[in-house]
Amino acid sequence: DVKVTQSSRYLVKRTGEKVFLECVQDMDHENMFWYRQDPGLGLRLIYFSYDVKMKEKGDIPEGYSVSREKKERFSLILESASTNQTSMYLCASSSFYGTKYQETQYFGPGTRLLVL
Amino acid sequence: QKEVEQDPGPLSVPEGAIVSLNCTYSNSAFQYFMWYRQYSRKGPELLMYTYSSGNKEDGRFTAQVDKSSKYISLFIRDSQPSDSATYLCAMKETSGSRLTFGEGTQLTVNP
């Protein structure tokens, strides 16, 4: 089974703090994704990466950056947290190769971030 | 206009009912169609996967894709309280790895 883990289930941070969210997958997937999920807005893609040290902006990259130094690990960084970044953050991974089924995304359990 | 439209509900049904969940989309390049189930305070998990048009059945779940109408459906037969969750549709073009998600429909199955 694919396993995607996220470093924290719940986080409380203060406005202006730098926040790191970590995601690790154990299936040797090439692609990794960061989403945020908000009521009424659904899942929105922040950044994704298709290889080590590669990154692509998603639909809402402003205020975020990412790092992928190793294939299994993808970090989301909030440079200066703001209250409007309070959200559920979800990491996902998928394989670029193989069967079509393998192109689906597998999600971690999510991190609920509250910025005060 | 959103690329994928999904009624957010909430939808409440009695145990044993047949549930129909739907999404419409505007991008004719979508070829892969998925349904994810998300329990409260958990990450989404893949429930059904369909390529192009047609039906796919897995136990009590049936996924249908009608590309001519740009409409996909998920049917749940003999619904159970354990089916209570948010159901998200997702779609992908042939190339690339990005998924486009619907907003999700919140379903409650009452015992």
Nearest to B49 among A43, A101, A110 (CB): A101
The helix/strand/coil state of A27 is coil
pLDDT averaged per 10 residues, chain A (length 116): 87 97 94 94 93 93 97 97 97 76 82 97
Residue B8, pLDDT score: 85
Please choose, from the candidates B63, B61, B89, the residue with its C-alpha nearest in 3D space to the C-alpha of residue B77.
B61
Residue A2, pLDDT score: 63
For residue B13 the two structure tokens come to 């049904």
111 residues of chain B, pLDDT tens digit each:
789 999 888 999 999 999 999 999 999 999 999 999 999 989 999 999 988 888 999 999 999 999 999 999 999 999 999 999 999 999 998 887 889 999 999 999 999
Per-residue DSSP letter, B38: E
Closest chain A CA to residue B5: A42
Residue B94, pLDDT score: 82
Residue A22, pLDDT score: 97
Residue B89, pLDDT score: 96
- Most B CBs within 10 A among A51, A104, A106, A111, hence the mutation to make, goes to A104
Contact residues, chain B, for A92 at CB < 8 Å: 43
Residue A101, pLDDT score: 56
Distance from C-alpha of B11 to C-alpha of A108, rounded to nearest angstrom: 26
Contact residues, chain A to chain B, C-beta under 8 Å? 4, 31, 40-43, 45, 48, 50, 58, 90, 92, 94, 96, 100-101, 103-110, 112
Q: Indicate the residue type of B67.
A: K
Contact B43 A108 (CB under 8 A): yes
Average pLDDT, chain B: 93
Residue B97, pLDDT score: 81
Residue A114, pLDDT score: 97
- Most A CBs within 10 A among B98, B100, B103, B105, hence the mutation to make, goes to B98
CA distances from B7 to A44, A61, B23, B104 (A): 17, 26, 8, 7
Contact residues, chain B, for A40 at CB < 8 Å: 8, 103
